[in-house]
Amino acid sequence: MIPQLYLPGFEVPFRQLANESGSQSDSQEYRYHHDWSSDVQEGMPLKIYTMGRFALVRDGEAIEFGRKAPRRALELLKAIIAMGGRDVSQENLTSMLWPDSEGDAAHRIFDTTLHRLRKLIGYEQALVMRDGRVSLDNRNCWVDVWAFERILGEISAVLPYASRKDDFRILGRLTKNLQRLYQNHFLHSEDLANWSVSLRERLRSKFIHQLVELGLFWERAGDWSMAISCYQKGLDVDDLIETFHQHLMVCYLQTGRYSEGMAVYRHCRQVLSVVLGIKPAPETEQIYQTMIRRNPLISTG
Amino acid sequence: MFESHVVRIYRRNEEKPGEVAGLVESIGNEKKLPFKNYAGLVSIMRELIYKDEIHDTVVPLREAGKDSKKKSNAL
């Protein structure tokens, strides 16, 4: 029995939506469901992208900062998101961002920076200050990290019980949305600050684990193309994770795409040798040997 | 001021607990340092944590052994 899920902004249960989608044409169905997060985004005046490049989109248009980017204000916004985005203590933010300022001076810097940030965003109500804590208002802001976490929750609720055609369709959509959202690590293109490490590593770890689980699910289901997309994305995130190489090789083996499987093996061997100074694991070698046995011609390629 | 380092373990040998391969990433720079066993990991961490002391004080940690040898030879 699959639990009923409710998506923010929808009055009807998630499962019911999925069932209803069966009666729609493919293009309608795609448009309606193609991205839960973008559905939820509708009507959100402010969208904040942090996974990969940092970007702010206001009313559908990217905010350009030019050469004089308000660095301090943007850093405050990034730090608020890094600390969860809701009920973030002003005291923690000031000690993290401006450790040399204390007392009234720290308070003044925070107030000034928050004022500048609100001006920059253009929506006073997007940042709510209450009892010394600041929050991003989820009625006015869409944050990619929140959407990512929401999709992870939806996957965890469906994956263990998935057995019907509808479940597969839902998981297919969620798999694609998850991959699309995780463009790169949290604040990847920024100078990595101590305060951003925790969220960055948490998201990275969750994403990698979810990709492995989804990849295995699609392998069991015999949907090699979906499994390949999971493992390939995993390698895009971190090509030192040998599990991704191994499973990708297995997928190519199963689909008779031996030369692609060989390319994965070569990449695995090279990257492990160059970066870590180690050889592929015996399991990897075993898959490689199986590939050669199935198609001896490729070993000379 | 505190420092952050991320230790990534990419391989563990269940049969040989000492064999572990991975990388140490220092936050704030692009440096990634590989290790193949726990001794290597400890050595990297020691260098990272005590780097200021290593560079600011008299004897670099790695060469401490050599120096004490020289001293004993001189004696």
Separation in Å, CA of A7 to nearest CA in chain B = 35
Quote the crossing angle between the two packed helices A224-237 and A242-254, to the nearest 10°. Answer: 150
Q: Tally the domains of chain A.
A: 2
Q: Kindly list the averaged pLDDT for each block of 10 residues, start to end, along chain A of length 301.
A: 30 33 35 41 82 90 80 93 95 90 86 92 87 92 95 94 90 96 90 85 96 96 96 96 97 95 97 96 95 78 48
Look at residue A28 and tell me if it is in a domain.
no
User: Across the interface, do A276 and B21 touch by the CB < 8 Å criterion?
Assistant: yes
- pLDDT band of residue B8 (cuts 50, 70, 90) is very high
Separation in Å, CA of B31 to nearest CA in chain A = 12
Residues A161 and A293 in one domain: yes
Residues A55 and A134 in one domain: yes
Chain A residue with CA closest to B22: the answer is A276
A246, two tokens: 């191994």
For the stretch B47-57, pLDDT in tens is 988 875 544 44
Show residues of chain B in contact with A197, CB under 8 Å: 4, 6, 27
Look at residue A41 and tell me if it is in a domain.
no
A33, two tokens: 């469901």
Distance CA A80, CA A17 (A): 34
What are the residues whose beta carbons fall under 8 Å from the beta carbon of A40, sequence distance 6 or more? A7, A8, A9, A142, A147, A150
Q: What is the ipTM of this complex?
A: 0.74
- In a 3-state reduction of DSSP, which class is residue A56? strand
Look at residue A16 and tell me if it is in a domain.
no
Cα torsion through A18, A21, A22, A26, rounded to 10? -130
Query: What's the one-letter identity of residue A153?
Result: G
Look at residue A21 and tell me if it is in a domain.
no
Residues A155 and A288 in one domain: yes
* Residue among A197, A242, A281 whose CB faces B27 most closely: A197
Residue-range definition of the domain harbouring residue B26: 5-74
Q: To 5 degrees, how large is the angle CA A170–CA A176–CA A178?
A: 100
Show residues of chain A in contact with B34, CB under 8 Å: 275-277
Show residues of chain A in contact with B44, CB under 8 Å: none
What pLDDT is recorded for position A159? 93
A181, two tokens: 């959202």
Residues A230 and A132 in one domain: no
- pLDDT band of residue B61 (cuts 50, 70, 90) is very low
For chain B, which residues lie within 8 Å of any Cβ of chain A, measuring from their own Cβ? Answer: 1-4, 6, 8, 10-11, 21-23, 27-28, 32, 34, 36
Backbone angles phi, psi at A284, to 5 degrees: -65, -45
* Residue among A99, A192, A241 whose CB faces B28 most closely: A192
Show residues of chain B in contact with A99, CB under 8 Å: 1
Residues A110 and A254 in one domain: no
User: Across the interface, do B23 and A241 touch by the CB < 8 Å criterion?
Assistant: no
What CATH number has the domain bearing residue A262?
1.25.40.10
Show residues of chain B in contact with A278, CB under 8 Å: 11, 21, 36
Q: Between residues B22 and A296, which one has the greater pLDDT?
A: B22
Residue-range definition of the domain harbouring residue A293: 144-300
What pLDDT is recorded for position B1? 58
User: Across the interface, do A276 and B22 touch by the CB < 8 Å criterion?
Assistant: yes
Residues A285 and A148 in one domain: yes
Q: What is the mean pLDDT of chain B?
A: 73
A275 and B CB contact within 8 Å = yes
DSSP A83-104: TTSSSEEHHHHHHHH-TT--HH
Query: Taking the CB of residue A89, how many other CB atoms lie within 10 A of it?
Result: 14
Q: Which of A142, A171, A198 is the last residue of a domain?
A: A142
Handedness of CA A89, A94, A96, A101 (dihedral sign): negative
Look at residue A255 and tell me if it is in a domain.
yes
What pLDDT is recorded for position A35? 43
Residues A136 and A61 in one domain: yes
Q: Which of A121, A142, A163 is the last residue of a domain?
A: A142
Residues A186 and A292 in one domain: yes
